[in-house]
Structure formats: C-alpha cells, structure tokens
C-alpha cells in the first residue's frame, strides 16, 4: 500500500499544541507501520461526500482524517473532533477531468459565498467587469480549475479574484492570477506516469492522478519512517525542496566543462538545478550565480523555492540571481550594450506581410514566411544571402531550391531593414549581441550559470551560455526533460560550443510515485 502525506496535514498539524502534535505524530507512525492494526480506532465518515474519508482517533478529542483506498492511505488533516469532521465533510479528493492531477477540492455547495473584503468608499463603487467572462470552459479546465468552480471563476472580478483563489487548487489559482495581470500561463498537461507494480496490477485513476506533477505540490509519498519523520518535523515548503541522496552527487560534483542532467517528468531535475545553484554559491564565496529558466512564472516558482532552501543564508541567496530568459537578455543588454526595445511577434508579422507583395513572384503563404523567419533566419541570426543560402534547414519539411531561397531572402532582408529602421531587436538578436560582447570581455557577468528547462534554450541563447562559460570548469549546468528534443536536432549543442560528452547524467528515479521507474 502506498502511504502519502498532504500539505494540508502538515499545515493543520502545526496549529496544534506541542503535546497534541507529539500524540498525532505517534498515531501517524502507527498508521504507516500497520494501517490495519487493531489498536487503531478507525471508522468511515458517513456524512462526507467522499466515501474514502476515514477518521483515526488520536486521543479523546484529536482526530486524523485519512483518505483510504485499496492501494493507498493519505494523511489529509488533523484537528479537534468537530473541526476535523467539518473539514472532511466540505471536501473531496478527485482527479481533474482535463489535467489528470489529483486535487483536494472544496465542495461548492458547502461554500455559501466567496466573501470579498468591503472597504468604505467616498463614492458609489463602480461595477467591475468579470475578468474571465470570455474564457471558455475548456481553457479554464486546462488551467486546473475544478469543474464545479467554473461559474464562480467566470463571475470573478479584480476585487473577488484573491478571495476566490483561496478555494482553488494552487495551479489553478496561480494561472488565474497570471491571466488577471496580463500574462498567459501554460495549460496544464495530462501526464501519464505509471508506477512500477510488483504485482503487475493496473494503476487506478487516483494513483495516476497522484503521480501528476501538479499533484506533487500537495501530496508526497512516504517510503520510510525516516521520510515521514522529516516531513512531520519540517514545514511542507522545506519538504518540497528535499534533495534525495541519489541526486546529491550530481549537485556537488566538480565538472571540467558544461554538464547536464536530464530525465522524464518527476525525476527531480528542477530540484537538482536549484541545489546546484546554492552549492556553487556556498562553495565559491563572492561568486555571482545565475539560475535561469524558460518563462517568468517558472522563474517566480524557482525564486520561491530558493527562499525556502537558502532563506536563512542571506549571503548565499543574495548572490544567486533568478531570471527568465527574456528578462535576462533585456537586462544584460541594457547594462552592457545600452537600451533595447524588443520586436513583438505582431510587428514582425506585419513587416513580413508588407515585404511579401513588395518582392512578389512567389506563392509563399504568410504562415510559411513567419515559420521560416522564426525557425531559420531569426533563430540563427542570418545576416546575408550567403548565410541563408548555405544554412542547413533542419526541422523544416519544405525543401527549397536556390532560386526560391533567393526570393525568400529578399523578403527577409526587407524585414531586417524594417526592424533596424524602427530601432527594434528580436530576442534572438539580443542574445546574439550579448554572446559577441561577452566573448570579447575579460569579465563575464556571472561566474556560474545553472539553466532549468534547458530543452527550451534557443540557438543564440546557447551561444550566449557558451561565451559565458568558455573554458571555465563548473561554469555551466543544464537540467532538462528527455521527452523534448534536448541536445539534438534541429541544432547541435557541441557545434555551438557546449560539449557535454562525459558530463551527462539521466535521472531515472521518479519521486512522484512510490516505486522506481524501470530503467
């Protein structure tokens, strides 16, 4: 049987008195050792909508709420009798129909209303428009919003969204807040992670839901008594940055050149990257460490984890800079080369739309021109006809004879001129300029760089990192998902100056399940 603990359990445990906590912990250890022990007073909660909720007696007044299935036992909540029962009667654990992640969902009918703080105003308040009125159900479900909360989400305005977020799973609340502030969050993906089972039984829907990346924000598998003891003795946020012993050697090892860890979802790549950055800062007093990732939301998540891991070491944490790739490029360009204004995708598209008929004599669609520009011309920062004529077009399915390439270059050259006239640069151009500048500089802006989500690194970004870490041991460390085309076509990392041969490791232990994944 898989034994798990929820963040709601550790949070509720911390609110008890010291004596109550010790007694509750003892009961938790007894449950882990033998859930069927006749000495435990366990009974089903008949009033709970989720019929898998059970109560475990700790003493005359304290009760532990567990979620029990034939294959798992999950510690959910602990409190005084009435409050513990009330918590269970107002919640259920279910697998989200779109994302597949297991969630603790507050039953909508038990919530009378979402209470919004009211402040005295000198004038009559203006009725504010709902923030998500035009968002489809499918889109909201794709962010992890529980189905029964869709109507409330679509009614939410800027005053009520924060109150509403308290009732939603973490990934849904974060996505909605990002949408409300003008961002575009990633849709949550359904991840199929099947635990190895010695009896070859088919995993249940809940078991698969518990293995989803989003579910790991809430639930942790406890394989040993020692793991449970650490989880109960430390706050949940500390437990979520735990480095497993199998990973430590890859964090603390010295590398003669660029190094990489890869692996499928759930193998702890981000945790390894986070600990690597902290290790480098600790081992090298005064060093400046960059911890970079693909997007701004991912950077915020890394920054939060960094505070949990090294918050009590300000001299370490303050020397680690967490950045999204785009923000990093703009900031460094402004600091080293001067102000820069990025060209939006719409601007580039408009320039292509203008240049295409001006050149004429072709049948290339606008969508083809956009893709050719983004994947070849801009990606490789091609500056002249000869470079475009000779570049390998890996990943592009359409073969082009030289005359057609010449026509295309005439279009793209007009776009390049249009960007220059407007004083605009693409993100790829920003990193190309930085790579050139750093390669000729005696002092790089960072001593070490750690890159998470490395499968998303572009050609010019890799050139930038190659220049940043040129010839220096331990300077570059990458973490990425093997499911993506990392270090493979459409471009060669080695050819761009990042050679990881002999310094690459694939993580194979999946910490989102109770078993090791097959190698």
Q: What is the pLDDT along the chain (519 residues), one digit of tens a residue?
A: 889 999 899 889 989 998 999 999 999 999 998 888 878 899 999 999 999 999 999 999 999 999 999 889 999 999 999 999 999 999 999 999 998 889 999 998 887 666 555 544 444 555 678 889 899 999 999 999 999 999 999 999 888 888 898 899 988 888 888 788 777 777 765 544 443 333 445 567 788 888 787 787 788 888 777 778 777 876 666 656 767 666 888 899 999 999 999 887 767 888 899 999 999 999 999 999 999 998 888 899 899 889 888 877 889 999 999 999 999 999 999 999 999 999 999 999 999 999 999 998 899 999 999 999 999 999 999 999 999 999 887 767 677 889 999 999 999 999 999 999 999 999 999 999 999 999 999 899 999 999 999 988 999 999 999 999 998 999 999 998 755 554 444 678 888 999 998 998 888 765 544 333 333
Residue with tokens 């093997």: 482
293 CB-contact burial (10 Å; exposed 0-12 / middle 13-18 / buried 19+): buried
* pLDDT at residue 512 in the model: 47
| 353-354-357 Cα angle (round to 5) | 90
Q: How many other C-beta atoms lie within 10 A of the C-beta of residue 112? A: 6
Q: Which two tokens stand for residue 171?
A: 């990934």
Closest CA relative to residue 396, chosen from 383, 379, 413, 381: 379
CA-CA distance, 23 to 17, in Å (whole number)? 10
CA–CA distances in Å: residue 443 to residues 141, 345, 438, 446: 48, 33, 8, 8
CA-CA distance, 37 to 303, in Å (whole number)? 43
| Contact (CB, 8 A) for 373 and 352 | yes
Sign (positive/negative) of CA torsion 160, 163, 165, 169?
Answer: negative
Q: Which two tokens stand for residue 217?
A: 């924000």
The strand ranges marked E within 312-457 are: 320-324, 341-342, 424-425, 448-451
* pLDDT at residue 217 in the model: 75
Closest CA relative to residue 280, chosen from 33, 477, 508: 477
- What's this model's pTM, rounded to 2 decimal places? 0.61
Q: How many CA atoms lie within 13 A of 412 on its CB side?
A: 27
């Amino acid at each position: 049987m898989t034994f798990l603990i929820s963040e709601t359990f550790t949070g509720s445990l911390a609110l008890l008195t010291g004596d109550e906590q010790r007694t509750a912990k003892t009961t938790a250890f007894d449950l882990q050792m033998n859930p069927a022990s006749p000495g435990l007073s366990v009974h089903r909660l008949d009033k709970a909508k989720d019929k898998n909720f059970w109560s475990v007696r700790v003493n005359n007044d304290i009760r532990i709420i567990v979620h029990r299935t034939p294959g798992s036992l999950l510690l959910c909540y602990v409190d005084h009798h009435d409050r513990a029962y009330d918590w269970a009667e107002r919640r259920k654990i279910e697998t989200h129909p779109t994302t597949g992640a297991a969630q603790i969902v507050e039953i909508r009918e038990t919530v009378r209303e979402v209470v919004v703080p009211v402040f005295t105003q000198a004038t009559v308040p203006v009725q504010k428009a709902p923030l998500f009125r035009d968002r489809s159900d499918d889109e909201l479900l794709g962010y992890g919003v529980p189905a029964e909360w869709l109507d409330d989400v679509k009614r939410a305005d800027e005053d009520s969204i924060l109150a509403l977020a308290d009732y939603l799973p973490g990934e849904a609340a974060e996505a909605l807040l990002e949408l409300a502030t003008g961002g575009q969050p990633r849709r949550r993906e359904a991840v199929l992670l099947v635990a190895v089972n010695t009896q070859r039984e088919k995993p249940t829907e809940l078991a698969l839901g518990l293995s989803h990346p989003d579910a790991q924000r809430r639930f942790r598998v406890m394989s040993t008594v020692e793991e449970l003891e650490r989880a109960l003795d430390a706050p949940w946020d500390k437990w979520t940055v735990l480095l497993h012993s199998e990973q430590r050697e890859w964090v603390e090892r010295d590398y003669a050149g660029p190094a990489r860890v890869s692996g499928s979802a759930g193998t702890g790549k981000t945790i390894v990257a986070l600990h690597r950055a902290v290790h480098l800062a600790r081992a090298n007093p005064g060093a400046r460490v960059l911890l970079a990732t693909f997007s701004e939301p991912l950077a915020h998540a890394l920054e939060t984890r960094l505070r949990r891991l090294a918050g009590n070491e300000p001299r370490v944490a303050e020397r680690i800079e967490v950045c999204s790739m785009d923000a990093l490029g703009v900031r460094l360009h402004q600091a080293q080369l001067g102000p820069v204004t990025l060209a939006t995708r719409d601007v580039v598209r408009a320039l292509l739309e203008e240049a295409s008929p001006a050149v004429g004599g072709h049948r290339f669609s606008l969508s083809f021109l956009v893709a050719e520009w983004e994947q070849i011309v801009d990606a490789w920062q091609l500056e002249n006809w000869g470079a475009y004529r000779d570049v390998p077009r890996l990943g592009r399915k359409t073969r082009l004879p030289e005359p057609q390439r010449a026509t295309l270059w005439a279009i793209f050259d007009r776009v390049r001129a249009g960007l220059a006239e407007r004083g605009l640069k693409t993100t790829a151009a920003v990193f190309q300029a930085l790579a050139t500048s750093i390669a000729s500089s005696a002092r790089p802006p960072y001593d070490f760089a750690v890159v998470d989500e490395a499968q998303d690194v572009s050609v010019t970004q890799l050139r930038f990192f190659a220049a940043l870490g040129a010839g220096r041991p331990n300077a570059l460390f990458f973490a990425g998902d093997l499911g993506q085309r990392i270090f493979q076509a459409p471009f060669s990392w080695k050819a761009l100056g990042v050679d990881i041969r002999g310094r690459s490791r694939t993580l194979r232990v999946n910490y989102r399940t109770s078993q090791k994944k097959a190698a």
